[in-house]
Amino acid sequence: MEQKEWVPRLRSLGRGPEGKLQIAEAYLAQGNYAEAIAECEAALNLNPRLASAHLLLARIYTVLGRYPESIQACQSTLKADPKVVGAYLILAYVYTEQGRYPEAIAECRKAIKIDPQHAYAHLLLGELCCVQKQYEEAIAAFQNALHLDPQLARAYYKLASIYLEQNRQSEAIALVEGALRLNPTVAPSHLILADIYFARKDYSGALAEYQEASSINPKLAEAHFKAGNALFKLERYHEAITQYRVALVMNSKLVEAHHQLGRVYSKLRQYGTAISQYRAALALNPQLSVALADLGDIYAAQGEYKEAIRKYRSALELIDVTCETGNHLAAHGHYLEAIAEYRSTLTMDSDLILPEGFPEEVSYVLGLRRDRRKHGRFSRRFSVKHWERSAGPWHPGAIVNVSKQGLLVESSRKVEVGSKVKVIAPLSQDKQSMAIKGRVVWMDREEAGRNYRFGVELFSEGDGNQAWENFLAA
């Protein structure tokens, strides 16, 4: 009842433009935008150059998302009075919403030139510079904002975010603590402090801060998602699933949550569910190469090597990278070695999970860490000699990758694909050696001036090749 009586009572202020603006403000406070616009227009009919009326119209249009009209109203404001700082800041906000960041930054600078003491103008400039990755300018702007208004909590955690990106963790912590002293209930400050703990691998400390942020704002999807990440690192997988799913309830388009759920279910060996989560992530973002690569791991873990290779190749295509070595190996049926090359090119972590009962050499080739002594021999670089024709000269080289089925040899000497070769490799440290025979199945040279690399498929018969198998199995 009071709201209905309030506006009519304001009419006693008079029918002049200023009175109409006060009525418009009252309507705006009530959310009655149509009446507020009508009162502004009535005021402008009485005084077309009333800057405050144009500015109020700009505010209303901005709230309504009617950005072209908001821009026009700001321009009319500045035509009436070029020193109205609020008009520049509204323009900066609107341009930001439209993704016109350089123009938004220019408007902030105009506002600061008119009023250098305007703390919010410096804050907004800092945020825009962050978007443009102009971090030094952003730091200066946030520092100016805090100098002008030490109570501006947002500037503390925005500046702390930059310091965290620059690995200036001590300065970041000091700023976040300053923000929390001002207001312990600011969720973003707890998020940044948690991020710092996470970067330091203090996952328990990070989890506590993420949970504090979500208790302050239970609808903050980011807090639940990052709590899931901390739980994942702590290997508390079922709790991580809960946090990721809560984040998705709040933001169904959170691609990263689907991707992380895929990783959790992979850890739990629930491959079907993992695949569905990776596919959900790719449906939201078809350019998410890491999800495709992780899908490759799922298929590799189930022994579906060809499908795994297709996924790895698709992931590489998205980042415009080729892996010729992997392609050569796959073309000749050396799928495990090919997978190792693809994963290396994709810089994937060496934590691929395989079902129980997989042969040890499979685990090694796929890059898994193993403590058993025999696998160190797979990664050793052997100095060798090789020749392509029995009457030809010997050439120095090195074995850089090995398996029971083949070798990857590096040499300054070019060889012909399909030719037969013999490789002399050390059998032990007491200068014993063995001769290994095979056929060159591919040859590559990644860059001019670099050594050649060629793959050798071993012949199934021969005492030397049997000695090689015994050597690897020792």
Q: What is the pLDDT of residues 74-97, one digit of tens each?
A: 999 999 999 999 999 999 999 999
| Torsion angle of the four alpha carbons 231, 237, 242, 244, in this order, in degrees rounded to the nearest 10 | 70
Check pLDDT > 90 for residue 249.
yes
Two tokens, residue 59 = 């505010």
Residue with tokens 């948690």: 194
- Separation between Cα atoms, residue 57 and residue 161, nearest integer Å: 35
φ/ψ (deg, to 5) at 440: -75, 120
Supply the pLDDT for residue 368. 37
Which residue shows structure tokens 């600061």?
112
If you average pLDDT over residues 172-193, what whole number do you get? 79
How confident is the model over 442-465, as a mean pLDDT? 64
pLDDT of 361 strictly over 60: no
Nearest-angstrom CA–CA distance, 193 and 206: 7
* pLDDT 10s digits, 365-375: 444 333 332 33
Residue 389: pLDDT above 80? no
Give Cα separations from 278 to 187, 257, 265, 297 (angstroms).
30, 10, 10, 11
Q: Which residue has the higher pLDDT, 12 or 228?
A: 228
| Most confident by average pLDDT, 9-23, 149-163, 271-285 | 271-285
**For residue 223, is pLDDT > 70?**
yes
Mean pLDDT over all residues of the chain? 81
Percentage of residues in the chain with pLDDT exceeding 70? Answer: 78
Residue pair 235/258 in contact (Cβ under 8 Å)? The answer is: no
* Residue type, position 462, single letter: G
- Range in 91-100, 166-175, 386-395, 449-458 with the lowest mean pLDDT: 386-395
User: Strand 433-444 and strand 395-402: pairing?
Assistant: unpaired
Domain layout of the chain by residue ranges: 378-473
Q: Distance between CA atoms of 243 and 248, rounded to whole angstroms?
A: 9
Distance CA 382, CA 161 (A): 47
Q: Kindly indicate the confidence band of residue 382, based on its pLDDT and cuts at 50, 70 and 90.
A: low
The length of the chain, given as a count of residues: 474
Answer whether residue 394 shows pLDDT above 80.
no
C-alpha 277/C-alpha 234 separation (Å) is: 21
For 378-473, the fitting CATH number among 1.10.10.370, 3.30.590.10, 2.40.10.220, 2.60.120.1270 is: 2.40.10.220
Sorting pLDDT into bands at 50, 70 and 90, what band is 412?
A: confident
Residue 348 exposure: Cα atoms within 13 Å on the Cβ side: 28
For residue 367, the model assigns a pLDDT of 43
Q: Which of 140, 209, 221, 207 is nearest to 179 (CA)?
A: 209
Is 463 or 408 the better-scoring residue by pLDDT? 408
pLDDT score, position 81: 94
Closest CA to 168 of 352, 176, 72, 419: 176
The yes-or-no verdict on residue 70 having pLDDT over 80 is yes
Average pLDDT over residues 410-416: 78
